[in-house]
């Protein structure tokens, strides 16, 4: 059965996730993480994406991306192919290091958009990788709240547009921390971020 064609259009906003093949670790060290972020930035510039947010886990990463030119698949193919090749070269591996099909969910409702502003920074906490979203260095959240400098390819003001102030954004994220069973972002697969049993 053929896979459904991805929906994309000019100005579409996507929640994107890329997974390691067979749920394997995508990032063996900090250099891998920096490489992936650099490739995301290069791809955003080449394809004129608005990258609103990203967060890296161990076996996958998430991003919120607006595509002014309806070119998500082309950009993601370039990014994931480049990362897979460089990851394999760095670690002396062969074969697929990334699952072939990335996840993409259109963000077409305000509640979905708003929920993503805390879904991404809370991902590392829900997976047991950090105790506070500001402690996790592999996310754009620290840029969104003004702690880290904003790279030219990141449009981190997206979360402030949803909340108005950094204080309100932090309060929204804190509320999510206090509700461990709160709903996941609509359309997202919670199995991507839960810590494996055992």
Residue 98 located in a structural domain? yes
Residue 72 located in a structural domain? yes
pTM: 0.88
Is residue 7 pLDDT above 70, yes or no? yes
Name the burial class of residue 188, with classes exposed (0-12), middle (13-18) and buried (19+) by CB atoms within 10 angstroms of its CB: buried
Residue 188 located in a structural domain? no
pLDDT the model gives residue 22: 73
Q: Phi and psi of 33, rounded to 5°?
A: -65, -45
pLDDT the model gives residue 6: 78
Residue 196 located in a structural domain? no
Residue 155 located in a structural domain? yes
CA neighbours closer than 13 Å in the CB half-sphere of residue 174: 7
CATH number of domain containing 135: 3.30.70.1290
Distance of CA 133 to the CA centre of its chain: 14
The bridge status of strand 50-56 relative to strand 12-19 is unpaired
Q: Encode pLDDT of 39-61 as tens digits.
A: 999 999 999 999 999 999 999 99
Mean pLDDT, the chain, whole residue set: 88
pLDDT the model gives residue 176: 87
Using N-to-C axis directions, what is the helix angle for 110-126 and 166-177, rounded to 10°? 60
Q: Encode pLDDT of 94-138 as tens digits.
A: 877 787 689 999 999 999 999 999 999 999 998 899 999 999 999
Q: Which domain holds residue 165?
A: 12-182
3-state secondary structure of 6: coil
pLDDT the model gives residue 104: 94
Q: Do residues 151 and 51 lie in contact, with contact meaning Cβ atoms separated by under 8 Å? A: no
Residue 54 located in a structural domain? yes
State mean pLDDT over 134-163: 96
Structurally, the chain folds into a number of domains equal to 1
Q: CA angle at residue 133 from 131 to 136, to 5 degrees?
A: 85
Residue 189 located in a structural domain? no
Q: Do residues 8 and 71 lie in contact, with contact meaning Cβ atoms separated by under 8 Å? A: yes
């Amino acid at each position: 059965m053929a896979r459904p064609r991805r929906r994309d259009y000019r100005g579409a906003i996507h929640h994107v996730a890329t997974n390691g093949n067979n749920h394997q670790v995508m990032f063996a060290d900090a250099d891998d993480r920096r490489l992936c972020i650099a490739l995301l930035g290069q791809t955003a510039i080449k394809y004129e994406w608005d990258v609103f947010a990203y967060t890296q886990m161990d076996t996958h990463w998430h991003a919120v991306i607006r595509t002014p030119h309806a070119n998500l698949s082309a950009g993601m193919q370039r990014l994931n192919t480049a990362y897979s090749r460089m990851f394999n070269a760095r670690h002396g591996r062969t074969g697929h290091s990334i699952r072939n099909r990335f996840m993409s969910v259109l963000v077409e409702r305000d509640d979905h958009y708003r929920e993503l502003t805390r879904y991404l920074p809370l991902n590392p906490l829900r997976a047991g990788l950090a105790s506070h979203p500001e402690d996790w260095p592999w996310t754009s959240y620290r840029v969104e709240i003004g702690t880290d400098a904003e790279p030219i390819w990141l449009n981190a003001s997206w979360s402030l547009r949803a909340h108005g102030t950094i204080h309100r954004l932090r309060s929204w994220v804190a509320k999510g921390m206090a509700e461990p069973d709160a709903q996941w972002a609509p359309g997202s697969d919670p199995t991507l971020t839960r810590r494996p049993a055992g």
